[in-house]
Amino acid sequence: MAVTKYSQEHEWIRVEGEVGTIGITQYAQEQLGDVVFVEVPAVGRKVAKGEACAVVESVKAASDIYAPASGEVVEGNAALADTPGDVNAEPTGKGWFFKLKLADKAELDGLMDEAAYEAFVKSLG
Amino acid sequence: MRYLPLTDADRREMLSVIGAKSVDDLFKDVPASARLGAKVAGLPDHQGELEVERAFQAFAAKNVSPGTAPFFIGAGAYRHHVPSTVDYMIQRGEFLTSYTPYQPEITQGTLQYLFEFQTQVTLLTGMEVANASMYDGSTGTAEAVLMANRITRRHKALISGGLHPQYRSIIETTAKWEGFKAVLSKADAEGLEDLIASVDKDTSCVVVQNPSFFGHVRDFTKLAEACHAAGALLIVVVTEVVSLGLLKPPGDMGADIVVCEGQSIGNGLGFGGPYVGLFATRDKYMRQMPGRLVGETVDADGKRGFVLTLSTREQHIRREKATSNICTNAGLCALAFTVHLTLLGEAGFTRLSELNHAKASQLADKVSAIAGVKLLNDSFFNEFTVKLPKPAAPVVEALAAKGILGGLPVSRLIPNDPSVENLLLLAATETATDMGMDPLVAALKEVL
């Protein structure tokens, strides 16, 4: 069964088996505004937890996406090159960024579950 | 309202707050020996404008200037004829006051000429996208290496021995403070360097120059292929942009980034600056490009207009993650470039290139016919290297004493290297004449 966790950088990671799918949250896409460009990491790249490994660019700003856990990139969402608006329309669906083969699932323990993340967003006002 | 920001009362008040008696008190930590007294030893007291003008004209008359002497120096800065129309155009008030646009949309004229500049740069270099210019070719080259490091996520740059020595120095300085490795190949006077075997999986980029500092013309297609096979980028530098009227564009060789010094078109020698850097790359690397970028669009009524685009790469938005700390461009020099190139047109530019090569060929024939002088180039554009039977620096001094600016001794830019001590770099542009070449040849024969 898939488990979804959230980071303080407003990323989500959905874990199925050894692979985690990563994207940004509804809150993050609202804050960014219209997304015009997404750069996803190359397949095979090894990333460390907390490493900047993707870029999301909106009409207002460009922001880094940090790896919520360590691992090796197994897939990037190539469709975002043509339809970056997917990130706004379906941030947790079609708008996913990349998939990681997780190096150490214990790293996910420090992340928030859905209820904790909702409380975190509320605390931001 | 009087615009005098400080009154004596203001000064007294400020001094009393910090407990100082006078402004001079603020400098008391500077040793007396380092402070200037009322008079500076060796300099006259202040003088009127007319006297100062006379004094400086007398100083200036001691210089042998390119415009008044037979002149054959190039090495990254070339004397060309700039039509007076260029000066007239760039001095029009609408252009002259236009700094890089910070409120871009209301300066449509500025954006339009920069867009045209970018278009010309892509056409010249054979690349897909160009920015609105860099400070100059040398700093643009260092920016290109940083860009390659970002794209490849590698930190080793291979620097050709044919790259201009000052460009190499700027890359070295940047490497020291940005923390990447710059591997400098030894000076390549013969033009035989092959860097293909040195490209490995840690290499972020290879930086070559065409024509090289020593004048050799190369085709880097195979090097580009080797770079791409290893996941590295090829950066091609052009210090004499007029050569692109005849030579295969770096884009056609497979270059990933092309940087040129644009001074030759529209801009004078000006004691080394201000110049204008041309910077072009592939579409796929556009977002890693430094500098400002102008795009064409349509307004709400469907009319053509121009905007600054992809600003999210830039420092005012992206802060420390920006692709560069350049937030500006060489606007006026880029304008001069664009006006001059537009006046030339494609056919005119090609003819200018042909004329440069013809003049240089003529000079090479004359100089290499002198006993003891050996031409090192199999190929060149408007500049080449000759080996003299003795050190080149004193020879050039002796020529200067005869009122001839007879090229650049390579040792001037590559000091303490015995292998280049006898090498002389000679350039001839469309401004060279028989009346200049013949005295050079005669004087060289005397001096050698």
Which site among A47, A55, A58, A80 would you substitute to test the B interface, given the most B Cβ atoms closer than 10 Å to its Cβ?
A: A55
Q: Which domain holds residue B245?
A: 84-340
B314 and B443 within one domain: no
Question: Is any Cβ of chain A less than 8 angstroms from the Cβ of B164?
Answer: no
Q: What is the pLDDT of residues B164-195, one digit of tens each?
A: 999 999 999 999 999 999 999 999 999 999 99
Note whether residue B68 is domain-resident: no
pLDDT score, position B104: 81
Query: Which amino acid would we find at residue B188?
Result: D
Structure confidence at residue A1 (pLDDT) = 65
Q: Note the helical H segments in B277-330.
A: 315-318
pLDDT, mean of residues A52-78? 91
3-state class (DSSP) for residue B422: coil
B4, pLDDT greater than 90:
no
Cα separation, B21 vs B142, in Å, equals: 49
Contact A39/B at CB under 8 A: yes
Say what the pLDDT of residue B311 is: 81
Q: Assign residue B389 the CATH number of its domain.
A: 3.90.1150.10
**Percent of chain B at pLDDT above 90?**
81
Q: Of B340, B373, B408, which residue is a domain's last?
A: B340
The answer to whether residue B78 sits within a structural domain is no
Are residues B164 and B297 both part of a single domain? yes
Buried b (16+ CB within 10 A) or exposed e, B130-147: bbbbbbbbbbbbbbbbbb
> Is the Cβ of A104 closer than 8 Å to some Cβ of chain B?
no
Write down which residue in B340, B363, B394 finishes a domain: B340
Percent of chain B whose predicted confidence (pLDDT) is above 70: 99
Query: What's the pLDDT at B45?
Result: 78
CB hemisphere CA count around B154 (13 angstroms): 19
Q: Does B325 reach chain A within 8 Å, measured CB to CB?
A: no
Q: State the Cα–Cα distance between residues B427 and B437, nearest whole angstrom.
A: 11
User: Which chain A residue's Cα is nearest to B288?
Assistant: A39
Q: Is the pLDDT of residue B445 over 90?
A: yes
Q: What distance in Å separates the CA atoms of residue A41 and residue A47, rounded to the nearest whole number?
A: 9
Residue A52 domain boundaries = 3-123
User: Can you state the angle between helices B165-178 and B137-152, rounded to 10 degrees?
Assistant: 40
- pLDDT at residue B11 above 80? yes
Q: Does A64 touch chain B (CB under 8 A)?
A: yes
- Provide Rg for chain B, Cα atoms: 25
Q: What is the mean pLDDT of chain B?
A: 94
Nearest CA in chain B to A57: B312
B211 upstream amide cis, omega within 30 of 0: yes
- Domain of A65, CATH number, reads 2.40.50.100
Q: Which residues of B touch A57 (CB under 8 A)?
A: 287, 312
Which two tokens mark B110?
Answer: 């500025």
**Which alpha helices (H) appear in B187-330, and where do they start and end?**
221-229, 250-253, 315-318
pLDDT value at A31 more than 70: yes
**What amino acid is encoded at B127 in this protein?**
M
Output the six-digit token pair for B124.
Answer: 């010249």
Give B-chain residues touching A62 at CB under 8 angstroms.
312-313, 317-318, 321
Nearest CB partner across the interface for A37, out of B287, B318, B321: B287
Read off the pTM. 0.88
Chain B CB contacts of A61 under 8 Å are: 312, 317
> Which range, of B99-103, B414-418, B423-427, averages the lowest pLDDT?
B99-103
Please check whether residue B312 touches A, CB under 8 A. Answer: yes
- Tokens representing B362 are 């003529």
Q: How many CA atoms lie within 13 A of B378 on its CB side?
A: 4
Instruction: Give the type of residue at B221.
Output: T
Rounded to the nearest angstrom, the minimum Cα separation between B311 and chain A is 9
**Is residue A89 less than 8 Å (CB to CB) from chain B?**
no
Q: Domain total for chain B?
A: 2
Q: Do B313 and A64 touch (CB under 8 A)?
A: no
Q: Which residue of A has its CA nearest to B323?
A: A62
Nearest CA-CA distance, residue B377 and chain A, Å:
44
Q: Are residues B335 and B379 in the same domain?
A: no
Q: Which pLDDT score is estimated for B46?
A: 82
Packing angle, helices B108-125 and B331-368, rounded to 10: 30
In a domain, B216, yes or no: yes
Residue B186 class from Cβ within 10 Å (0-12 exposed, 13-18 middle, 19+ buried)? Answer: exposed
CA distance B189 to B186: 9
DSSP strand E in B150-290: where? 156-159, 181-184, 203-209, 233-238, 257-261, 277-281
Provide the shortest C-alpha distance from residue A116 to chain B (in Å).
Answer: 30
CB atoms within 10 A of CB B307: 17
Which of B321, B340, B359 finishes a domain? B340
- Tokens found for residue B402: 């005869």
At B319 the pLDDT is 78
Band (B314; pLDDT cuts 50, 70, 90): confident
The type of residue at B405 is L
Cα gap A108→A49, rounded to integer Å: 10
- Looking at the fold, whether B329 and B366 belong to one and the same domain comes out as no
Residues B173 and B242 in one domain: yes
Residue B382 tokens, joined: 């408007």
Query: Where do we find the tokens 């102008």?
Result: B294
Query: Are the C-beta atoms of residues B209 and B191 closer than 8 Å to each other?
Result: no
Query: Residue B103 — pLDDT band, cuts 50, 70, 90?
Result: confident
A37 touches chain B (CB under 8 A): yes
- CA-atom Rg of chain A in angstroms: 13
Q: Evaluate whether B159 touches B290 at the Cβ level (below 8 Å).
A: no
Number of domains in chain A: 1
pLDDT digits (tens, 9 = 90+) for A66-125: 999 999 999 999 999 999 999 999 999 999 999 999 999 899 999 999 999 999 999 987
What's B162's domain CATH number? 3.40.640.10
Across the interface, of B287, B313, B321, the residue whose CB is closest to A64 is: B321
Per the DSSP assignment, residues forming a β-bridge with B278 are B260
Cβ contact B318–A62 (<8 Å) = yes
CA-CA distances (angstroms) from residue B197 to B208, B221, B222, B226, B237? 15, 15, 11, 9, 20
Residues B298, B190 share a domain: yes
Residues in chain B, how many?
448
